[in-house]
């Protein structure tokens, strides 16, 4: 995902209407004992809770928790 998607081509708007460049960060790398997802596909999640529930259905809500907490720390300047 870091190399195949042209992240800098699209802009998104935050809650205040300000435009920002998309970006992608690696938050975890490694191996697991089993596959938790079948076919990989794009899923639009309108809220954080909806996204966490999507990961919870696969039994890996900790992936969402780690990515979300990293994003919160990055936006506050603590990273």
Q: What is the pLDDT of residue 52?
A: 93
Domain count along the chain? 1
Tokens of 21: 């460049």
Q: Is the residue at 60 inside a domain? A: yes
Instruction: Name 13's bridge partners.
Output: 19
pLDDT in tens, 4-27: 677 777 788 878 888 888 777 777
Beta bridge partners of 19: 13
What would the pLDDT profile of 28-73 be if each residue is shown by its tens digit? Answer: 788 888 888 778 778 888 898 999 999 899 888 998 998 888 888 8
Q: What is the pTM of this model?
A: 0.61
| Residue 49 forms part of a structural domain | yes
pLDDT of residue 20: 82
Which residue range is the domain that position 60 belongs to?
A: 7-26+38-76
| Domain contains 33 | no
Which residues make beta-bridge pairs with 20?
Answer: 12
């Amino acid at each position: 995902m870091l190399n195949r998607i042209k992240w800098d081509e699209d802009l998104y708007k935050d809650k205040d209407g300000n435009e920002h460049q998309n970006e992608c960060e690696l938050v975890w790398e490694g191996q697991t004992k089993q596959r938790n997802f079948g076919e990989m596909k794009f899923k639009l999640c309108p809220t954080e809770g909806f996204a966490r529930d999507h990961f919870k259905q696969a039994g890996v809500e900790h992936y969402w928790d780690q990515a979300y907490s990293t994003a919160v720390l990055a936006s506050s300047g603590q990273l």
